[in-house]
């Protein structure tokens, strides 16, 4: 079981499952969307994910027509993304998790955009 929330706390969620795999993505879109060096994500089953409070604060942004980036429009925290053609899988932004076990990342995508000062075991 996993719980999390956005920065302002208006949006809270629960995941009725375990996180098995986490991914770091350094692509430029993720850097811009997070305002940081990388996005830390996990693919989850949408059917086990529930927004427990604050659904009305969520907004979807389509930077590319196929991919929704879902964030709290009050505080701007990115919560998850999903592909329109794969709506059963959401990619949770793991910095918003407050309860539950998060395994170390097993994959680093777009590592060519990783800053030189950042070292991580492959
Ligand atoms: Zn918020
Ligand atoms: Zn990315």
Query: What CATH number belongs to 2-113?
Result: 2.170.150.70
Expressed in angstroms and rounded, the spacing between residue 48 Cα and the centre of ligand 2 is 23
**Each residue's pLDDT tens digit, 66-96:** 999 999 999 999 999 999 999 999 999 999 9
How far apart, in whole angstroms, are the C-alpha atoms of residue 93 and residue 100? 14
Expressed in angstroms and rounded, the spacing between residue 107 Cα and the centre of ligand 2 is 12
Expressed in angstroms and rounded, the spacing between residue 107 Cα and the centre of ligand 1 is 28
How far apart, in whole angstroms, are the C-alpha atoms of residue 34 and residue 76? 10
The ligand minimizing its distance to the Cα of 107 is: 2
How far apart, in whole angstroms, are the C-alpha atoms of residue 78 and residue 109? 19
In the predicted model, is pLDDT for residue 59 greater than 90? Answer: yes
Expressed in angstroms and rounded, the spacing between residue 83 Cα and the centre of ligand 2 is 13
pLDDT at 89: 97
**Each residue's pLDDT tens digit, 89-122:** 999 999 999 999 999 999 999 999 998 898 776 6
Expressed in angstroms and rounded, the spacing between residue 53 Cα and the centre of ligand 1 is 11
How far apart, in whole angstroms, are the C-alpha atoms of residue 34 and residue 100? 22
Asked if 19 and 61 touch (Cβ cutoff 8 Å), the reply is no
Q: Which segments within 6-122 are labelled E, that is strand?
A: 12-15, 23-25, 39-45, 49-53, 58-64, 67-72, 78-83, 86-93, 97-99, 107-109
Domain ranges of the chain: 2-113
The ligand minimizing its distance to the Cα of 96 is: 1
């Amino acid at each position: 079981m996993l719980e999390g929330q956005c920065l302002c706390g208006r949006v809270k969620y629960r995941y009725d499952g375990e996180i098995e795999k986490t991914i770091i993505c350094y692509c430029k879109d993720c850097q811009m969307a997070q305002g940081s060096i990388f996005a830390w994500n996990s693919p989850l089953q949408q059917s086990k994910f529930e927004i427990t409070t604050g659904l009305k604060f969520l907004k979807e942004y389509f930077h590319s027509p196929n991919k929704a980036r879902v964030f709290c429009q009050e505080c701007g925290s990115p919560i998850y993304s999903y592909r329109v053609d794969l709506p059963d899988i959401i990619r949770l932004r793991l910095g918003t998790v407050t309860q539950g076990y998060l395994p170390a990342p097993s994959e680093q995508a777009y590592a060519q955009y990783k800053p030189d000062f950042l070292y991580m075991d492959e």
